[in-house]
Chains A and B, each alone.
Chain A
Amino acid sequence: MLESKIPAGTLEHKWTDYKGHCKLVNPANKRKLEIIVVGTGLAGASAAASLGELGYKVKAFCFQDSPRRAHSIAAQGGINAAKNYQNDGDSTFRLFYDTVKGGDYRSREANVYRLAEVSSNIIDQCVAQGVPFAREYGGVLSNRSFGGVQVQRTFYAAGQTGQQLLIGAYQALERQVALGNVKMYTRHEMQEIVIIDGKARGIIARDLISGKLERHFGHAVLLCSGGYGNVFYLSTNAMGSNVTAAWKAHKNGALFGNPCFTQIHPTCIPVTGDHQSKLTLMSESLRNDGRIWVPKQKGDTRKASQIPEEERDYYLERRYPAFGNLVPRDVASRAAKERCDEGYGVGSSRQAVYLDFSAAFERYGATEASITGIGNPSKEQIVALGKQVVKEKYGNLFDMYEKITGENPYEVPMRIYPAVHYTMGGLWVDYELMTTVKGLYALGEANFSDHGANRLGASALMQGLADGYFVIPYTIGNYLADEIYNKPISTDHEAFQTAEKMVRERLESLMNINGTQTVESFHKRLGKIMWNKCGMARNANGLQQAITEIQQLKKEFWSDLKIPGSINELNTELDKAGRVADFIELGELMCIDALNRNESCGGHFREEYQTPDGEALRDDANYMYVAAWEYKGDHYWELHKEPLQYDVIKPTQRNYK
């Protein structure tokens, strides 16, 4: 059933060969072909713009009030590309290798190699579009290092790289809208996929302002709807980020790949109380200069400044002397959780660790003092100088921290805790980014393809844009070339009617529950189950409990939910209810997948499978496959395995000691 369609030939030639031999659609025919794009983040906006440029008739949908607001905009750090501008030994192969290794050997070689190959074109394209990347005084592009790799290949625009890249793609998209090639539907949410004769042929969308359902035909449908981190309720995702589009596709036959692979980011601002609605990331770059510690004494309630140096436990430096504070995200996150679970956490919630810059103040301050020629500087002078340097590097992040917590991180150490950040899992796609439903594609974070079990920093932006700008324009032609004989299908077709009826009935049944509990309260409860039992560390017992609890929650949801207002109006509670209903079902599948995968790899840590010193223990003999789940009915999924074959890279145990 799973045909990954990886082209034959050597790794380096697969994509070139594919491009040289895939079917093409001539310009006159492109004008007759309609494509639907759901979501306008990096993947969606770049795909819609590129396909519009090619001459296809594109319809793009987003639930926000403008395509520019998709959550790609929140990415801070940067975007990787194998440009080797620094002459430090980078290459397509090295980017490919780092990505596969970072993903703990659970991704497809061919896909990742293609990603590394097109990474350079992305930078060129973005520069041409007017993305104001950081530059050196000589006028060339600047790079920084990121996420534990050994070369400097990350391009960035201060701490707002995602914003700048998205605005670039958004501008390209709006240009196509102006030219009439793309029709944009904002404040619209996809509610159902329409399948005719086994092929995706359109969607049912809901106008979120009027509440009306609309039918839209397309020769192909692209889902670029992002990740599902909000299944945990608290995450760094935007409030509106949801799985609904992907989940409808899944329930209509698209397989869901590796749903349990979730990335927990180690440096986020901790939860302050039950009122918390979302979590905020503090860029990974802070770990370059901050030292992470907890008190050596359990339940120590003293202020950080009152705890003397010898009573501090720099646990990452202690456990991983080679990488120290710069271990990969999954490792750093688990270590923080371990300390807090053992009772060493700090802050009022005891669910936080310190990220301390005082050493950096002194180090930078001393350098600065010698540069400016201050002889015999006092400690205060050094610290003051050091703070200036740190301010230049991370000023905006420090300000953001102060806005949220009310604490001045220049005076007291930051308190941080891991939070859900990204989902590597997603709709299963083949080499052409097509799901198991013909004509239905998934791009960007919505698919499962490139990051394996753990994503490296600055790679999400790369993947979203690679899929949209440089992959889909080729691979979709290979499918649409055969579609030129098919006239657009009228939206009066029976399949559209049935799909719309289903959506209407579902909305009505949600409205008719008339219970007592709010959508938000269910979402919070789901989040707690997921975080506690399918979060940073998982075990079989907990996962089984979680499955039972989620099934119970689902029953309660469908019998005691309260939604105010009505269907045919702007009703944000109804919008949320639809999303939470899908999250509940997805949560169950995530637990099933996590329970099935009897190994630890990347972001998936099963407590039963660890080395004696607490590191992840992979089981390549039994689990070197993509778990692709087929929906078979309520609470029932069938597992399909796509074996992962490593022809070029030899998988090894990751070691950061």
Chain B
Amino acid sequence: MEHYTMNLNLKVWKQKDQHAKGSFKMYRVENISSEMSFLEMFDVLNEQLITAGEDPIAFDHDCREGICGMCSMYINGKPHGPWQANTTCQLHMRAFQNEDTIVVEPWRANAFPVIKDLMVDRSAFDRIIQAGGYISVNTGNAVDGNAILIDKDNADNSFAAAMCIGCGACVAACKNSSAMLFVSAKVSHLALLPQGGPERHNRVINMITQMDKEGFGSCTNTGACEAACPKEISLTNIARLNNEYLKVSVVAEK
């Protein structure tokens, strides 16, 4: 792989705090190696800004290996940037060319208010999980791990849904700011396992109620979430959630 260096123009969203009015600001970075990660390029920019006595750009990041779900940049019109099935932290600069202008925005959704610059508040996701995204089993209640056999396909599908990293790219990508892919991934993860069975009805109602309360939009099955998802969570999960919901609404006692 041939490496090269590039000079770039960055148009980045700056916003002092949640209540301030933000705007775009232009920056220039030079001698960026194609081997750098996108966030390392931001590190270079921030070092440059600090040294010049300017305010660095605030952005969320932690593991930088695509699994914690903390990074959240909307790069050139796509959550997590141009690569497929990728997080911002794993995007590398060879995706760009010399003298490119890169536009970086925060996730946009009322339910994800901007905290500062590119950082947003995703605590709504935690509250959705609190509403029912768990199996109610206290420590010590468990039977032997092999006592309940689980169909391998169900276990695999459950795992595929559980791979969700909760980054919020689905919400950012959706024209309706819907959190359905996130919620459906959790509902599917637990509904596909026998352990999650007893609570599946209440879970789906409570999680949807909370999702609505948080101010996310409704799903119109456009598929933008699936296309943006770094873990390729399938739209099928949304259909499964709908199925669960329909079943509950038909069989509910009251």
List residues of A (548-586) whose CB comes within 8 Å of B's CBs: 562-565, 569-570, 572-573
The answer to whether B83 has its CB under 8 Å from any CB of chain A is yes
Assess the A139–B152 pair: CB atoms within 8 A: yes
- Check B50 against A573 for contact (C-beta < 8 Å): yes
A543 beta carbon closer than 8 Å to chain B:
no
B65 contact set on A, CB distance < 8 A: 74, 236, 278, 280-281, 400
Considering the chains assembled together, what is the distance between the CA atoms of A65 and B113 in angstroms?
A: 13
A171 touches B129 (CB 8 A): yes
User: Is B106 in the interface zone, CB < 8 Å from A?
Assistant: no
Complex CA gap A573/B116 in Å reads 14
Chain A residues near B63: list those with CB within 8 A: 69, 71, 73-74, 238-239
Partner of A175 from the list B92, B134, B158, B163 (CB cut-off 8 Å) is B134
Nearest CB on B from A274, distance (A): 9
Q: Which of A130-138, A438-446, A495-503, A589-597 lines the interface with chain B? A: A130-138
B146 to chain A minimum Cβ distance, whole angstroms, is 5
Cβ of A407 within 8 Å of any chain B Cβ, yes or no, is yes
Instruction: Say yes or no: A405 contacts B1, CB within 8 Å.
Output: yes
Q: Which residue of B lies closest to A562 (CB)?
A: B50
Given contacts A65-B123, A74-B63, contact A238 B33 (CB under 8 A): no
Q: Which residues of A contact B235 (CB under 8 A)?
A: none
Please tell me if B13 contacts chain A, counting CB pairs below 8 Å.
no
B189 x A273 contact (CB < 8 A): no
Contact of A287 with B by CB under 8 A: no
Query: In the complex the two chains form, is B56's CB within 8 Å of A130's CB?
Result: no
User: Which label, helix, strand, loop or mixed, suits the secondary structure of the B interface?
Assistant: loop
Q: Any chain A CB within 8 A of the CB of B86?
A: yes
Is B135 in the interface zone, CB < 8 Å from A? Answer: yes
- Asked whether A570 lies within 8 Å of B58 as measured between CB atoms, the reply is yes
CB distance from B141 to the nearest CB of A (A): 6
Q: How large is the interface on A (under 10, 10 to 19, 20 to 34, 35 or more residues)?
A: 35 or more
Contact B92 A404 (CB under 8 A): yes
Q: What A residues does B86 contact at CB under 8 A?
A: 403
Q: Are A50 and B139 in contact (CB under 8 A)?
A: yes
Chain B residues near A317 (CB, 8 Å)? none
Question: Given contacts A53-B139, A66-B125, A518-B50, are A238 and B62 in contact (CB under 8 A)?
Answer: yes
Nearest neighbor of B125 in chain A, beta-carbon distance:
A66
Q: Which A residues, 271 to 323, have Cβ-Cβ distances below 8 Å to chain B?
A: 272-273, 275-278, 280-281
> Is there contact, CB below 8 Å, between B142 and A209?
no
Check if A277 sits within 8 Å of B195, measured CB to CB: no
B121-144, CB < 8 A from A: 121-123, 125-126, 129-131, 133-144
Do A130 and B55 touch (CB < 8 A)? no
Query: Which residues of A sit under 8 angstroms from B158, Cβ to Cβ?
Result: 130, 132
Q: Which residues of chain B come closer than 8 Å to A50, judged between CB atoms? A: 138-139
A393 to chain B, nearest CB (A): 15
**Which single member of A68, A132, A518 contacts B166 (CB below 8 Å)?**
A68
Residues from chain B with a CB closer than 8 A to the CB of A141 are 145-146
User: In the bound complex, what is the Cα–Cα distance between A593 and B60 (angstroms)?
Assistant: 35
Q: Which of A103-139 contact B (CB under 8 A)?
A: 121, 123-130, 132-139
| Residues in A neighbouring B66, C-beta threshold 8 A | 400
- Contact between A163 and B130 (Cβ–Cβ < 8 Å)? no
Asked whether A520 is an interface residue with its Cβ less than 8 Å from the other chain, the reply is: yes
Across the A-B interface, the 5 shortest Cβ-Cβ residue pairs: A139-B149, A171-B134, A128-B142, A124-B142, A132-B159
6 additional contacts (CB under 8 A) given A135-B152, A174-B134: A70-B68, A123-B145, A134-B155, A140-B149, A564-B56, A570-B17
